[in-house]
Chain A
Amino acid sequence: MSQDIFVVIEHLRGQIADVSYVMLAGARQLAQNTSGKVMAVLLGHNAQGLANSLAADGVLYIDHPALAEFTFDAYQLALADLIKAQSPRAVIFGHSSVGMDVASTLSAKLGAPVVSSCQSFTADGKFVSQICGGKIMAEGDLPGPIALVTMVPGGYKAEQGQSSQASEMTNMAAPAMDGIRVTLKQYIEPDTSDVDIVKEAVLVSVGRGIQNKDNIELANELASALGCAVSASRPVVDQGWMPTTRLVGKSGKRVKPKIYLALGISGAPEHVEGMGDSQVIIAVNTDPNAPIYNIAKYGTTVDMFELLPVLTDKIKQAK
Chain B
Amino acid sequence: MSVAKTTAVRTLRPTTGWVAIDLHELVDFKDLIVEFARRDIKLRYRQTALGIAWVVLQPIVAAGVLNFAFGVVAGARPRGPSYFLFTFAGLLMWNLFSMTLNKTSLSLVGNSYLISKVYFPRLILPISGTLATLLDFAIGLGVLFVLQGFYGIAPQWQLVLVPVWIGMVLCLALGAGLIAAALTVQYRDIQHILPILIPFMLYASPVAYDVTQIPESYQRLFYLINPLAAPIVGFRASLLAAAPMPPLPYLAWSALFAIGMFGLGAAVFKRTERKFADVV
Report if A and B associate in a common complex.
Answer: no
Query: A interface vs B, CB < 8 Å?
Result: none
Query: B interface vs A, CB < 8 Å?
Result: none
